[in-house]
Structure 1
């Protein structure tokens, strides 16, 4: 379709006089004046009340009417049926286009997005491992048995060869010491 406004002669509708390029502005303005409101009302229902989308559809419909001016039936009582059909097709095309590609999101939506890539867990493991090196051997042993190997206090006492009460107190003081080391490293907020 040639959208060029420089065509020397264009028929507005079959059976009417040729239209000069200078008349095209008046024709489009007349089309818009006569059919904008009813077409917008029709399109608003088609797009679920989205006014901006409806305005875009009406504009696209008017552009298509201008491009097809030489094929429109001037003897028809109203162009509304033709305009409504074109507008409905524009809406359908828009929906298909939107469904065919993913929804666009601004960068703000991505800033808060958390992607589990394992890096945080790895860093946490490294930081805790380094912090454990600063504890006394007795504290490291008790945390290794109770927390890392997931043993009960009784099992840890048996493996370490110390009384249950000793395992409990060492675990308590080891966790406090670990917390201090992690705070000094800025690992705990």
Structure 2
């Protein structure tokens, strides 16, 4: 998040997303950050917002599966179709670490898809997922489309691909 909005504390933004349903203050802060301008232009020439930037970065995670071109924003369908594929850990699947359920997103829709995408990226940047990656070696794993029905052999033979998002400066 440091590269997206230099004036915003990434941990404060992460906390606002996590506590969104509990606090009007968290909601206000979340919307304030998401509507901030980044100082860049979109493909259409309009001013880019933090929301645009986050959805572009989320799209990078799934560009091959969703058929997105570099720089395309993930929409509600792309986020909803990929949310069930994210879990925390190694390449073996552990149902206790299913990302979407861990963070209480039973439904991904027009009202919350951008918040889910922001949560994933903020967590990778400064949340418990970031800490787990540094301290325990756990990472965000993009699994098969239906990981609950994978065989043990399929879980062990998943393709693991590293995605690095810059934290300062460069393009995401």
Give the TM bin, normalised by the shorter chain.
Answer: under 0.3
Larger strand fraction of residues:
2
Superposition TM-score, scaled by structure 2 size = 0.22
Superposition TM-score, scaled by structure 1 size = 0.21
Larger RCO of the pair (alpha carbons < 8 Å, separation 6+): 2
Larger helix fraction of residues:
1
Bigger radius of gyration, 1 or 2? 1
